[in-house]
Amino acid sequence: MRALLLGDGLLAAARRSLTRDRFAALALTLTATTAVLLFQVLQHTAGGAALVERIGVVRASLPLWQSLLRTPMSLFVPAPDLPVWGAAGQVFVVFGIAELTIGRWATLAVAYAGTLAGTLYARHGVQAGARGTEHLFALPWDDTFVRDTGPSAAVVALTVYVAWRYRAWLTGGATVLAMVLEQALFPNLAGVEHLAAILCALALAGSGELVAQRLVRTTDAWRPLLPAPP
């Protein structure tokens, strides 16, 4: 049961990183958590709200280039009407585990990819809804103007990616099931974006594993042809 929940070697990998680098191993996590708290404070001030709107608030109504420019910052802008400690806590725990186990740059890449996947799908969904397209995840036209920010898509993507990498099938499966049920019972923009983030994480994890296996096979095939070391 523990292996299904935590996967093979996840705790050992996290412990090695902490032992080797101590607090430096969580530099990205601490920065991201601080950014969430900072944006929360800023968006509840008069001048700060305007600044956050310009650099970190994404809506499907914006031009694509503007959404792409704002998406990296939008990851750290929490929903103003929800408790910020929930968002900050999710970032600290999930980003922390990911940074300790898959590394800083991989964590940042997966988090951004999951957020971007959700943002791009939101644009597709509202366009499909506006055309009257009948498909499962078409979104109502009103969602065009909904504020699309927060770390939840990144958190979901990282959870699924790390679960795949370390074979924590119970954790990964529970996360996917929870997101599917959320969208089935309470369909909304965030729920669709979470599903897009899951698909993105699975694609990244699966393709990365295939590439790694191919590299190993190629290296093994070429090894007999290489000159022996002196």
Res 43 pLDDT > 90: yes
On whether residue 93 sits in a domain, the answer given is yes
Rounded mean pLDDT, 21-44: 92
On whether residue 65 sits in a domain, the answer given is yes
On whether residue 116 sits in a domain, the answer given is yes
On whether residue 228 sits in a domain, the answer given is no
Rounded mean pLDDT, 107-111: 96
Which of 17-21, 40-44, 147-151, 175-179 is predicted with the least confidence, judged by mean pLDDT? 17-21
Within 8 A by CB and 6+ apart from 189, the residues are 122, 125, 139, 143, 146, 148
On whether residue 230 sits in a domain, the answer given is no
DSSP-derived secondary structure letter, 92: I
- Number of domains making up the chain: 1
What is the per-residue pLDDT for 3?
A: 53
What is the per-residue pLDDT for 20?
A: 87
Average pLDDT value for the chain: 87
What is the per-residue pLDDT for 82?
A: 82
Name the token pair of 142: 């009103």
CATH of the domain at 171: 1.20.1540
On whether residue 182 sits in a domain, the answer given is yes
On whether residue 229 sits in a domain, the answer given is no
Range of the domain at 54: 2-220
Rounded mean pLDDT, 146-162: 94
On whether residue 99 sits in a domain, the answer given is yes
| % residues pLDDT > 70 (the chain) | 87
C-alpha 17/C-alpha 39 separation (Å) is: 29
Which of 99-103, 131-135, 190-194 is predicted with the least confidence, judged by mean pLDDT? 131-135
Give the burial class of 207: count Cβ atoms within 10 A of its Cβ; 0-12 exposed, 13-18 middle, 19 or more buried.
exposed
Nearest Cα neighbor of 192 from 202, 182, 200, 201 is 182
C-alpha 97/C-alpha 171 separation (Å) is: 13
pLDDT in tens, 3-27: 555 666 888 888 888 888 888 889 9
